[in-house]
Structure 1
Amino acid sequence: MATSDFVLGGLASVGATFFTNPIEVVKTRIQLQGELAARGSYVEPYKGIVQAFITVAKNDGMMGLQKGLAPALYFQFIINSFRLSIYTNAMENHWMHKKNGEVSFSLGLMWGAIGGIVGSYFSSPFFMIKTQLQSQAAKAIAVGHQHAHKSMSGALKEIYSKGGIVGLWRGSLSALPRAAVGSGAQIATFGKTKSLLMEYDLVHQPTLNSFCSGLIAGSLMSVAITPPDVISTRLYNQGLDAQGRGLYYKGWLDCFVKILRTEGIYGMYKGFWANYLRIAPHSTLVLLFFDELIAVREKYKLGDASS
């Protein structure tokens, strides 16, 4: 795995996260409101995306829309460094191609899932802290368990002091289905779409090709990832008892069953449109930035070779 691909994948995601983190804050709040309560039986401080933005800004201030930005940047850098570098290596070594040279959707799905799982596991502590910081809100609009963290470093110290390394990686295995489904769908769609757009001469310009492919990949990813994303948000944000066990859920399957029983299918798709508005542009920007950074690197290599 090339070190440059690893770094470029991380940098691409960091650039995109500055723009999409406010949507992530809104998405997290919507996913947590009405936790384990039947639809219509609870107060909804967040009734829609636009109203949620206004509500957060009015009660938490404009900076409230960038809550959890620091751990979000770390999370995105780590997960996308692994995902995109594994994707690039698989593509360049033709591990995602059929015998006739075509890009295989199923192989892309597999390599995308592998990259997502590896990246998700190593970035798990930052995803947990990001979720807990993003859920913090003024009392009037608070939803879900409210953690008392004042910063990312403070959260790391507190979680480590109470649970050690195991505490920092709490919920990491439960987050793997989210990573596998989302990353697999995104990477497989991106690679296949790029190949098809070039094959049928629909989009010639490389940057536009990457943009269109990233947008399509992000759209499919948002549909696939929302249910496991709701589960991950709930698991990472739940409080713990004196023995360090979750107050609401024992694990991924228990969370899935409880949400279905109390909130129905609607509960599994809470925050879908916010998720879509976050993932579609984020996916487009990440994959576009990554392709552009790769192009700059290759141009630099050619310049060195010719000098």
Structure 2
Amino acid sequence: MFDDNNGFTTCHRRFLSYKLMLKHCPQGAGYLKRADTDRLHEIFLKFATVDRNGERFITSEDFVRKFLGLFEEDDYNAESVKLIAGIVDMDKDGYISFSEFQAFEGLLCVPDALYKTAFQLFDTNGNGLVAFDEFAEVMRKTALHQKLPFNMESTFVRLYFGKDKKRLVTYPEFSQFLHDFHEEYGVEAFKKCDKDGTGFISAGDFRDIMLSVKKHLLTKELNSKVINASGFPHGERKISFPYYMAFNSLLNNMELIKRVYLNATNGTRTQEVTKEEFLHSAQMMSQITPLEVDILFTLCDMIHHTNGRIVYNDLNSITPEQYFKQVTRRVAEIKAVSSPEERGVLIQILESTYRFTLGSVAGAVGASAVYPIDLVKTRMQNQRTGSFIGEVAYRNSWDCFKKVIRHEGIFGLYRGLVPQLIGVAPEKAIKLTVNDFVRDKFTDKKGNISMYAEILAGGCAGGSQVVFTNPLEIVKIRLQVAGEIAGGSKVRAWSVVKDLGLFGLYKGAKACLLRDVPFSAIYFPAYAHVKAKFADENGYNHPLTLLAAGAIAGIPAASLVTPADVIKTRLQVVARSGQTTYSGVIDAARKIYAEEGARAFWKGAVARVFRSSPQFGVTLVTYEILQRLFFVDFGGSRPAGSELHVATPIEESVKKPHHIGGYQVALPVLTGLETKFGISLPRWSAPKPAPAPQ
């Protein structure tokens, strides 16, 4: 081994650095005991291009540019790459060993990973302490300092590092220093612009400070509609120091602001809140000042023209998604795509029971809501026009609806509802379970699934439900058309079951398959993608958007399978005297076409769309609301029919297939250095000077 200046071998120093990391990160050490070391080592070797005395290493450039996928430009800033790699490279020799690679894996898994990562960025010599010279060296290389230099001789710096700036700062102390430093940076910037000490700066200076020191706190909407808008705020040419401090305090505390809003609305995200109502809630919860509330309502009005009333989405336009929410989402995404085998059998049984229960309730609500439309649809489809003499019973769906109420009463619209509700529970449960099971099998480790796999999952779900739906359908249909026979005896569900027998309950099963398989194959993918389009920037769906997504997805699914539904209805209904009988799907299709024409296959299509579309909309919005009200985390994926994975900014950034374990949050953590602390390292090298003229 090579000796360094202190007489330690490289191996000894690396071992001490590794122990130091475990000392500061005991949670990470516990994680490392559980980590798949062989898998980590396999990935490490793919990027380890250097061999030194039989030991493999990853270079700083390879780690940052190839493994993490950062700074991929040809003219990348080598100093920035070196600093980022220094977070992992504990002995600062430009090479990353497997022990360092594994130690960083543990570091990323601890709750305070962001602060510890920032600490290791500034701990350039790897001794577990930060000196003033180390802090100044890194800070001077940041993009912010190069644009707006910070006074390293300020009282603030001396309070932390001592009068002579020789004091070494520990990790807990440095975390507090870093938290306070950026606020002090903003104050220093204000002082530099307020050269006369009046306590005011110009609107232009304010804009420059916000776009340099506080840029990471601004959304595109706030930047374009407020910060870059002329005459901010409301034509004022001067910005006072109290206003400046309140403005920045508001941006730093937007998560608290959101909780104040939710407290004022009892958790509702769409209720409008006035300034007075918000102030009342704020005084109950926190120390938000009236000036901050004034600024909040001014910003919301400038961005969304709220006219003095705000809703939750208005707040999302003021500050971008913060680091902590990004990591929380990313961890949730990792959890969502974890394999079922990692969970115990009992947990999986409990999860299935949970889904079964919620699906049962949601299905019953959806079926009851649209059952009268379903009855009208059935009677319209069973109405023959070419097989017997006499006038048709109903001219159209509306005529059918009126006549049922006139001759059978309001309860006539609910004939056959009880057996329908009895079967809804197993039908919805098996449909959701099979759809989720097939989706899980075709979902990759990143949570992605192809359109073909979505269609297949939906088709399998539709096919599996026939074992429950066919007996239900045939009993329901015979009860629904029984009211058409004047003076006929009352038909009971149990008598229908006894007359049909076990095999009779599956009469028309082929047609049922022909309807349910394509219906679900169309519906589930359509619902997932429409829901994604309606989600807000945080991936949240309001119940109304869920209802709309379910209803819209049901339109093509219900209408396109109407011919199969007509054939199924004709096969399952008992033919009366003079009516044509059918021996099977093909026979029914031929006779219907010959006697009634092609239009007969689309009978009841309108009623079917008006029944199926809102039914599935109501069912799925009920299912989603029940999940939110009675959420239970079983460690697996949420049912695909109710919970769509919405792409986040982190997923849309550079993705690497070798990021496993803690490395799946590596990019959010490194991004957090900027979004939380404003520490941005230049991506590109300084432009080369033009050659001197000959």
Tell whether the structures are fold-level matches, with TM greater than 0.5: yes
Counterpart in the other structure of 1:120: 466
2:398 equivalent to 1:50: yes
Alignment of 1:94-243 (within 5 A): 95=442, 97=443, 101-139=447-485, 150-160=491-501, 165-198=502-535, 201=537, 204-239=540-575
- The one-letter code sitting in structure 1 at the alignment partner of 2:621 is L
How far the C-alpha of 1:257 sits from its partner, in A, is 1.9
How far did residue 10 of structure 1 move? 2.3
Contact 1:60 1:138 in 2 (8 A): no
Equivalent position of 1:68 in the other structure: 416
Q: Secondary structure at the match of 2:452?
A: helix
Q: What's the CA shift string for 1:272-305, capped at 9, x where partnerless?
A: 1111111111010111112222333425879xxx
Matched to 1:182, the amino acid is: F
Amino acid at match of 2:505: L
Q: Does structure 2 conserve the Cα–Cα contact (< 8 Å) formed by 1:105 and 1:189?
A: no
Structure 2: tracts of 5 or more residues without a match? 1-347, 636-694
Separation in 1, partners of 2:384, 2:601 = 12
Moved more, 205-214 or 60-69: 205-214
TM-aligned CA deviation for residue 166 of structure 1: 1.5
CA 1:203–1:215: 2 relative to 1, 3 Å: farther
Q: Following TM superposition, by how much is the alpha carbon of 1:73 offset from its aligned partner in structure 2, in angstroms?
A: 1.4
Q: Percent identity?
A: 25
- Provide closer, same or farther for how the CA distance between residues 42 and 202 of structure 1 changes in structure 2, counting only shifts above 3 A: farther
Equivalent pairs counted in the alignment come to 284
The whole-number CA distance in structure 2 between the counterparts of 1:45 and 1:247 is 17
Work out the CA distance in 1 between the residues paired with 2:444 and 2:588.
39
Q: 1:42–1:283: structure 2 CA closer, same or farther, 3 Å change rule?
A: farther
Q: Is the 8 A contact 1:207 1:292 kept in 2?
A: yes
Q: Which residue in 1 is equivalent to 2:602? A: 269
Of 410, 425, 429, 1:77 maps to: 425
Q: Does structure 2 conserve the Cα–Cα contact (< 8 Å) formed by 1:9 and 1:85?
A: no
User: Of residues 609, 612, 620 in structure 2, which corresponds to 1:287?
Assistant: 620
- For the 8 Å contact 1:238–1:247, the answer to whether it is kept is no
Deviates most, 76-85 or 276-285: 76-85
Question: Higher relative CO (CA 8 A, sep ≥ 6), structure 1 or 2?
Answer: 1
Q: Report the CA distance shift for 1:115/1:102 in structure 2 as closer, same or farther (over 3 A).
A: same
**TM-superposed deviation, 1:22:** 0.8
Aligned equivalent of 1:6: 356
Larger displacement relative to structure 2 (111-120 or 293-302): 293-302
Local SS of the residue matching 2:372: helix
TM-score for the superposition, normalised by structure 1: 0.81
1:239-274: CA deviation from partner (whole Å, max 9, x where unpaired): 49xxxxx97111112112221222222100001111
Q: Hey, what's the Cα distance between the residues in 2 that align with 1:150 and 1:285?
A: 30
1:7 CA displacement: 2.8
Equivalent position of 1:243 in the other structure: none
Matched residue, 2:629: 296
User: Closer, same or farther in 2 for the Cα pair 1:89/1:291, shift >3 Å?
Assistant: farther
TM-fit CA distance, 1:130 = 0.3
1:11 and 1:43, CA in 2 relative to 1: closer, same or farther beyond 3 A?
Answer: same
Q: CA RMSD in A?
A: 3.0
Q: Tell me whether 1:17 sits opposite 2:363 in the alignment.
A: no
Aligned mates of 1:295, 1:109 — CA distance in 2: 27
**CA–CA distance in 2 between the matches of 1:138 and 1:231?**
20
User: What CA distance in whole angstroms lies between the structure 1 residues aligned with 2:481 and 2:385?
Assistant: 13
Label 1:149 to 1:61 Cα distance change in 2 as closer, same or farther (>3 A): closer
Residue 362 (structure 2) pairs with residue 26 (structure 1): no
Opposite residue 543 of structure 2, the aligned amino acid is T
Q: C-alpha separation between the residues in 2 aligned to 1:212 and 1:105?
A: 21
1:120 Cα offset (Å) = 1.4
Are the aligned partners of 1:34 and 1:43 in contact in 2 as well (CA < 8 Å)? Answer: no
Question: In structure 2, how many angstroms separate the alpha carbons of the residues matched to 1:206 and 1:85?
Answer: 24
1:154 deviation in Å?
2.1
TM-score by length of 2: 0.38
Shift of the alpha carbon at 1:138? 4.1
Partner SS, residue 631 of structure 2: helix
Displacement of 1:65 after TM fit? 0.8
Q: 2:588 aligns with which of 255, 260, 276?
A: 255
Larger radius of gyration: 2
By how many angstroms is 1:74 displaced?
2.5
Whose helix proportion is higher, 1 or 2? Answer: 1
Deviation digits for residues 212-245 of structure 1, max 9, x if unmatched? 22011111112122111111111111349xxxxx
